[in-house]
Chains A and B, each alone.
Chain A
């Protein structure tokens, strides 16, 4: 498996502001993903973070709202822009482990509350 850390672990933000979430992995991985888990709901994929190119977004998610960076094979950031209370959620980073192809592991998540 891979060890994944996320910062911050939680935050309370005002509407209209932006928050950048960091994801760090202890080994080089090709595939990194960002998910959202809204209260009482399942996980929804926001985008796939591609190293060296733009992220690939799922239907309903756009780059202007959720810009993603992937500067190298161990790090990615997700920014939640111009936040509203509807963005209150847990945001999770996930990677496909290098020695467990097709298997995804998840970080501890960032719990975001927007007031």
Chain B
């Protein structure tokens, strides 16, 4: 069965610091990749997604992610975080059409003002 690993469970950064959250998946075939964010007290929102094409995808709020097929990775990045980026971030993978979305365990990001 496919699995998704997020190695950073808790990350604490100061404002303006750069962010990179790791995501690795176990499936070797074609996948669709997603990052979701859950701000405190809010519901899960789609941050960005990758299906095909340019492996560097840009999402909302200045986030981007890079798909590296050889490393089975889809790391999330942001050059300069803000206090409002404090949230929990989930990586998710879907093997193919009709297959289920598998989530990583999530990374809690706290940004100090």
* Residues in chain A within 8 A of chain B (CB atoms): 1, 33, 41-45, 48, 58, 92, 94, 101-109
Contacts and interface: CB of A to CB of B under 8 A. Distances in A.
A17 B100 CA distance: 30
Nearest to B102: A45
B46 to A, nearest CB: 7
Contacts of A92: 43-44
25 contacts: A1-B46, A33-B101, A41-B105, A42-B104, A42-B105, A42-B106, A43-B90, A43-B103, A45-B101, A58-B100, A92-B43, A101-B97, A102-B51, A102-B97, A103-B46, A103-B49, A104-B46, A104-B101, A106-B36, A106-B43, A106-B44, A106-B45, A108-B42, A109-B43, A109-B44
B100 A102 contact: no
A42 B90 contact: yes
A28 B104 CA distance: 29
Nearest to B44: A106
List of 7 A-B pairs having minimum Cβ-Cβ separation, nearest first = A106-B44, A108-B43, A42-B103, A43-B103, A42-B105, A45-B100, A42-B106
A47 to B, nearest CB: 10
B94 interface: yes
Contacts of A105: 46
A48 B101 CA distance: 11
Given A33-B100, A102-B32, 7 more contacts: A41-B105, A45-B100, A94-B101, A104-B101, A106-B36, A108-B42, A109-B44
B48 to A, nearest CB: 11
